């Protein structure tokens, strides 16, 4: 069903994009992109070697002076053209994303691709607004000002759940600020990162500004993070891998930005609209088959609404249609891989020993048997300290727990190592406002859960990492500020020289 993307012809030249050119990897190790809806290989390529990473970093280093020296207006113009090229290629990008991830075509067409085009347009504008905050005569005898400068070559590593958006979130603020970049996408999902880089070239962004190395985490990834010519590491992925990346980046004293795992709470107070909350919980736990770092994973529902909420969520989950990602009627596709499906199933099977699986908890048969599908799953009666409540499952699994007073709801929401996103559901402005203040997360929604916008920052608290993607705040990661100070006196013996010379002239 549907018009699938043909990757083999499109990327016949290889899966490395270095210095404005597609080329094969040289590691001698082959890797296949597998369509998770069918389990079939759709593209086989050679992974990047450490020498390929060196070549990409060298290309980025060569391109840096020219790109950093372009005016903000010139970079902005290029990014505007880039947004235009991406918009023209929207259909192809959506099909490639659905093919490699198993995302429903509705999701890639209505969310991933337009979000990326909008992000590109946002950074085209933002590129002209890079500012230092102060200029003036602070000492009386000097004029000081602040220059905001790019850092150099950025090495970025991205996950497989939103490959196009993650490539955009990493690449756009970096290049808008005048850096050049080498991005390593996840091995499972290189296609749209490569298309994104090709579109940058088509828009006139100079060769070497955007490079893609598609290699394994342990070799290409670690080599990129530790590379002596890479000035900054920006990583999005799981918390355990983020810790390893941090060790390597710290040993080489690099600027570091970490966007890590999440376990978002969804807190429903007893004055909430239960119908709205139930719809919100189902959509926000199942988006992208639950493989979303901000997905609703733990719903805490105040006791008077608990039963009605659980019943309604179960009912709504059972209406969700699993199917071919290319069928516009499909609501939820497979998970990224059979391995990820089995990992998710493992969490649910273990939970049967200590909790109740209300609906789902199974691998569907029939036409879906070949794919990495898993039914939307609702779990209740789990203890707060149990694995399904504390660990990132990264699948279509929602756990619901009751709470009594508002204090307890907020305490439980904060009771995991993570702090990426959360939501509070209430019609009482004071209760909702308190929740937004007291929940420790980089984003708190009120009466909704999931929407993101280019103008607003995305990033974690606690073990979800630090630093911001999107918005003008991301420039704090991708720039460094320099204090420039001019002497205004033109005298040889300055007043402060008395600390050395005493009263001698
Ligand atoms: P992962 O951590 O396994 O892999 C992420 C990337 O790191 C991949 O490109 C992988 O090849 C690379 N990698 C693996 N080992 C490495 C190493 N030793 N050194 C350098 N690079 C290495 O994550 P995943 O399974 O691809 O993605 C899912 C995870 O990403 C989840 O934990 C999710 O919450 C997180 N995520 C976070 C955000 C956010 O904004 N905070 C967004 C999307 C996904």
Which of 137, 140, 144, 145 lies closest to 494 in space, CA to CA? 140
Task: Work out the average pLDDT over 335-363.
Answer: 98
Domain of 273? 264-446
Task: Work out the average pLDDT over 245-274.
Answer: 98
**Which tens digit of pLDDT belongs to each residue from 72-103?**
999 999 999 999 999 999 999 999 999 999 99
Concerning whether 259 is annotated as a catalytic residue, the answer is yes
Tabulate helix, strand, coil % of the chain (nearest 5).
40, 20, 35
SS3 146: strand
**Which tens digit of pLDDT belongs to each residue from 207-243?**
999 999 999 999 999 999 999 999 999 999 999 999 9
Are 246 and 314 members of one domain? Answer: no
pLDDT of res. 131: 85
Task: Work out the average pLDDT over 11-31.
Answer: 98
Write the residue with the smallest CA distance to atom 6 of ligand 1: 159
59 pLDDT exceeds 70?
yes
Inter-residue contact 198 to 207 (CB < 8 Å) = no
- Does the residue 441 lie in any domain? yes
- Does the residue 455 lie in any domain? no
Task: Work out the average pLDDT over 485-500.
Answer: 96
- Does the residue 502 lie in any domain? no
pLDDT of res. 101: 98
Are 286 and 246 members of one domain? Answer: no
Are 247 and 337 members of one domain? Answer: no
Count CB atoms within 10 A of the CB of residue 434. 17
505 pLDDT exceeds 90?
no
Are 272 and 256 members of one domain? Answer: no
**Which tens digit of pLDDT belongs to each residue from 108-156?**
999 999 999 999 999 999 999 998 888 999 999 999 999 999 999 999 9
Mutate to test the pocket of ligand 1, among 222, 237, 242, 343 (most ligand atoms within 8 A of CB): 237
Inter-residue contact 422 to 446 (CB < 8 Å) = no
pLDDT of res. 133: 85
199 pLDDT exceeds 70?
yes
SS3 318: coil
Are 308 and 230 members of one domain? Answer: no
What distance in angstroms lies between residue 230's CA and the mean position of ligand 1's atoms?
A: 19
Task: Work out the average pLDDT over 412-436.
Answer: 98
> Among the listed ranges 279-283, 396-400, 500-504, which one has the minimum average pLDDT value?
500-504
pLDDT of res. 408: 98
The model's confidence at residue 2, banded by pLDDT at 50, 70 and 90, is low
Are 233 and 272 members of one domain? Answer: no
- Does the residue 2 lie in any domain? no
The model's confidence at residue 4, banded by pLDDT at 50, 70 and 90, is confident
Are 35 and 102 members of one domain? Answer: yes
What distance in angstroms lies between residue 485's CA and the mean position of ligand 1's atoms?
A: 42
294 pLDDT exceeds 70?
yes
Are 233 and 346 members of one domain? Answer: no
Catalytic residue among 259, 275, 311, 392: 259
Are 255 and 272 members of one domain? Answer: no
Are 151 and 240 members of one domain? Answer: yes
Are 304 and 361 members of one domain? Answer: yes
Does the CB atom of residue 82 touch ligand 1 within 6 A?
no
What distance in angstroms lies between residue 160's CA and the mean position of ligand 1's atoms?
A: 7
Between CA 395 and CA 330 the distance in angstroms is 17
**Taking the mean position of all CA atoms in its chain, how far away is CA 414?**
22
- Does the residue 477 lie in any domain? yes
What distance in angstroms lies between residue 334's CA and the mean position of ligand 1's atoms?
A: 19
- Does the residue 419 lie in any domain? yes
Between CA 117 and CA 8 the distance in angstroms is 25
Average pLDDT, the chain: 97
- Does the residue 20 lie in any domain? yes
Are 97 and 153 members of one domain? Answer: yes
- Does the residue 457 lie in any domain? no
CATH code for the domain of 224 = 3.40.605.10
Write the residue with the smallest CA distance to atom 18 of ligand 1: 218
Looking at the chain, the whole-number percentage of residues with pLDDT higher than 70 is 100
Residues 6 or more apart whose Cβ sits within 8 Å of residue 110: none
23 pLDDT exceeds 70?
yes
CATH code for the domain of 303 = 3.40.309.10
Give the chain's domain count.
2
The model's confidence at residue 65, banded by pLDDT at 50, 70 and 90, is very high
Task: Work out the average pLDDT over 464-472.
Answer: 97
Does the CB atom of residue 225 touch ligand 1 within 6 A?
yes
């Amino acid at each position: 069903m549907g018009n699938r993307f043909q990757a083999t012809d499109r990327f016949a030249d290889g899966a490395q994009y270095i210095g404005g050119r597609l080329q094969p990897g040289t590691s001698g190790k082959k890797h296949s992109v597998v369509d998770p809806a069918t389990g079939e290989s759709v593209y086989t390529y050679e992974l990047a070697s450490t020498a390929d990473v060196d070549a990409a970093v060298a290309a980025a280093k060569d391109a840096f002076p020219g790109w950093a020296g372009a005016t903000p207006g010139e970079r902005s113009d290029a990014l505007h053209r880039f947004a235009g090229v991406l918009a023209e290629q929207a259909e192809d990008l959506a099909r490639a994303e659905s093919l490699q991830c198993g995302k429903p075509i509705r999701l890639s067409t209505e969310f991933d691709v337009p979000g990326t085009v909008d992000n590109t347009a946002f950074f085209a504008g933002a590129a002209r607004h890079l500012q230092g905050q102060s200029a003036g005569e602070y000492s009386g005898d000097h004029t000081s000002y602040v220059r905001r400068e790019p850092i150099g070559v950025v090495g970025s590593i991205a996950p497989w759940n939103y490959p196009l958006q993650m490539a955009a979130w990493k690449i756009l603020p970096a290049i808008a600020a005048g850096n050049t970049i080498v991005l390593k996408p996840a091995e499972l999902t290189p296609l749209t990162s490569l298309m994104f880089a090709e579109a940058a070239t088509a828009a006139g962004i100079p060769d070497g500004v955007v490079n893609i190395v598609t290699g394994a985490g342990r070799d290409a990834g670690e080599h990129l993070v530790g590379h002596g010519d890479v000035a900054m590491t920006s990583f999005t992925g799981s918390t355990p891998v983020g810790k390893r990346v941090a060790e390597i980046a710290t040993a080489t004293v690099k600027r570091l930005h970490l966007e890590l795992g999440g376990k978002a709470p969804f807190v429903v107070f007893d004055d909430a609209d239960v119908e709205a909350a139930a719809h919100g919980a189902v959509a926000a736990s199942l988006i992208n088959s639950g493989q979303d770092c901000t997905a609703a994973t733990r719903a805490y529902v105040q006791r008077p609404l608990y039963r009605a909420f659980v019943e309604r969520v179960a009912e709504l989950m059972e209406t969700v249609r699993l199917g071919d990602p290319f069928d516009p009627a499909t609501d939820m596709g497979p998970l990224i891989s059979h391995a990820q499906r089995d990992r998710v199933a493992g969490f649910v099977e273990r939970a049967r020993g200590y909790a109740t699986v209300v609906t789902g908890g199974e691998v569907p048969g029939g036409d879906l048997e070949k794919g990495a599908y898993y039914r939307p799953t609702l779990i209740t009666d789990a203890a707060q300290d149990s694995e399904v409540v504390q660990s990132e499952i990264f699948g279509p699994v929602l756990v619901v727990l009751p709470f009594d007073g508002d204090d307890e709801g907020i305490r439980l929401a904060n009771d995991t190592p993570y702090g990426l996103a959360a939501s509070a559901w209430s019609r009482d402005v004071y209760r909702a406002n308190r929740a937004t203040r007291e929940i420790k997360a980089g984003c708190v929604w009120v009466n909704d859960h999931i929407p993101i916008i280019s103008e607003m920052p995305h990033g974690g608290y606690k073990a979800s990492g630090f630093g911001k993607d999107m918005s003008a705040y991301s420039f704090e990661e991708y720039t460094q500020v320099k204090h420039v100070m001019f002497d205004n006196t033109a005298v040889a013996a300055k007043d402060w020289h008395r600390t050395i010379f005493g009263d001698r002239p």
